[in-house]
Structure 1
Amino acid sequence: MKTEAAKAIRVVKGDPRGVFYDLFEPDEAAELTMRAALLNALQAWLAQSGLTQAKAAVQLGLTQARVSDIKRGKINSLSLDLLVRLAARAGFSPKLKLAA
């Protein structure tokens, strides 16, 4: 027999494009989705590169504190244009694809 708490649990399906579309207006959600994808790629690059934050900072043309922001996922402190430039400096080829 289900408890009252178990009966109250309701599964809500979010927007298939991602959680940002559940929380923000579509224009802001689109930007946050792109920023998150770039940030995730840079975090993976940092993890697999074996570079110290100081050496990664030199390669990316940043301060060590900004590399720390990337490692900690501080999406609000990193603009879309900066993330695109950093991804290119890390050896990625960022592309934009528009869909109707």
Structure 2
Amino acid sequence: MNKTYFAFAAIIAAIAVPASAEAQQRVDNRQDRQAERIDRGVEAGRLTARETARLDAQQRRIERFETRNRADGNGLNRVERVRLENRQDRASRQIFRQNRDRQRPNR
């Protein structure tokens, strides 16, 4: 009984670690892509300085949220992951809108 239980626990642990690492990579990749979208908007002249500052601040808040929730060493639980993804979704929509709102920086 105990051998079976420990074997099962070891298998679950082996599966959980790569899944957590994969989730971390997915979050990091999305943050990187959003930062690139902001940079491209600045380079193309589609974002004002104020819009850029707000979007950058939003990205920093998301990163702080992630860091705080991962600080316990166990990664993100389901609720934290959903909240993080919702914040990233909101940021993505803001980046999209700000890049297309026809406000242009003064040159």
Q: Name the TM-score, length of structure 2 as normaliser.
A: 0.40
Structure having the larger proportion of residues in helix: 2
Q: Name the TM-score, length of structure 1 as normaliser.
A: 0.42
Higher RCO by CA contacts (8 Å cutoff, separation 6 or greater): 2
Query: Which structure would you say has the larger Rg?
Result: 2
